[in-house]
Structure 1
């Protein structure tokens, strides 16, 4: 099997500098086949495949779930593929994407409960409860901001199993039903402007403000100053 395709759900919006630098990081460091943008295609993006999707869902979770389903149902997307977000940065070369998880859902739940995160926390609990009903007594969380290797049939099965959930944690649903296992890491999302972040991490992700105005964004932009094959010439 050759390199896996990258699948990237992208929300509507003309400016997406995080996607620009994510593409640069993947071009430099992550072996892959084609790049599939699912949803909105920014005008500056080149050299990718595009699958438009309707983004009229009540929440971003509905939209991204629709994008993942569209990728799984598309016959030309590789099986398996690597599921990415438009703010995932691969900061050093890797030969193959490892399987990574965040530890037991119960521990992740305690973290978000302390922050009072409403719909996300509700979705976490509902996804956990469903997995327990399906025989996974102590499920792992796969809600990390890193690429995830996805088998199409198993992901479609996970989405179907959680179809009734308003905010399904689809990575966690898939990872447990598919028995992925993997290595535990802390999440790599940087949510602040301060210079405290894991600069030696092979993976990073950012909130828009942290990317635009924070030390982590400066670090990422400095790492990838050159345009890649996925950008139109200006």
Structure 2
């Protein structure tokens, strides 16, 4: 694994898009790679990373009803995809899980370029829908509670508080007791 430089932004969506674009344009990465956020953990040995999603993007939006930046981003992504009905075969799916996602570089770059005018798009869902990657419905594994244990299954994800002060953080530090070279 090598560090791939990308421009830093104050806005996390702009920064995320810049990092994804830099990754997809990098000759250092193969044409297919696995996309992980820094708070994703693989808890069990697995043969391959499956394509997982949360089901209907519209139902994902309905669960939030907070009128915050995240919901607005989901909504603009949904509207963009609804306007591309000829490009996608099913109602838009939410790939906004806290789970790793297999990425094919050229497809992600096409999705990023296609949605360049969108403010704060959700690139995982744009990519998944525009490229028709399919997948299997799954529950999100993000742990926000300080008292919750790792979910059963191969994946877990934390927020800052649950990792630093929660039971899940203790579990992760016990499971992965030796820091890798990128954590030092």
Fold shared, TM-score > 0.5 on shorter chain? yes
CA RMSD in angstroms comes to 1.5
SS of structure 1 residue aligned to 2:107: helix
1:53 corresponds to 2:6: yes
Distance 1:132 1:199 in 2: 33
Distance 2:32 2:121 in 1: 21
In structure 2, stretches of 5+ residues that fail to align are none
- Normalising by the residue count of structure 1, what TM-score does the alignment of the two structures yield? 0.74
1:119 corresponds to 2:72: no
Contact 2:96 2:122 in 1 (8 A): yes
CA spacing shift, 1:213–1:98, aligned 2, 3 Å? same
Q: Which runs of 4+ in 1 moved over 6 A?
A: none
- Normalising by the residue count of structure 2, what TM-score does the alignment of the two structures yield? 0.93
SS of structure 1 residue aligned to 2:3: strand
CA spacing shift, 1:199–1:222, aligned 2, 3 Å? farther
1:1-234 correspondence to structure 2 within 5 Å: 35=1, 49-56=2-9, 58-113=10-65, 116-135=66-85, 136=88, 138-195=91-148, 197-228=149-180, 230=182
Distance 1:67 1:227 in 2: 24
SS of structure 2 residue aligned to 1:138: coil
- Deviation of residue 201 (structure 1)? 2.4
Distance 1:54 1:153 in 2: 20
Query: Could you report, residue by residue, the CA deviation over 1:138-178 in whole angstroms, capped at 9, with x for unpaired residues?
Result: 11000011111111111011011111111110000000011
Number of positions where the alignment pairs a residue of Structure 1 with one of Structure 2: 181
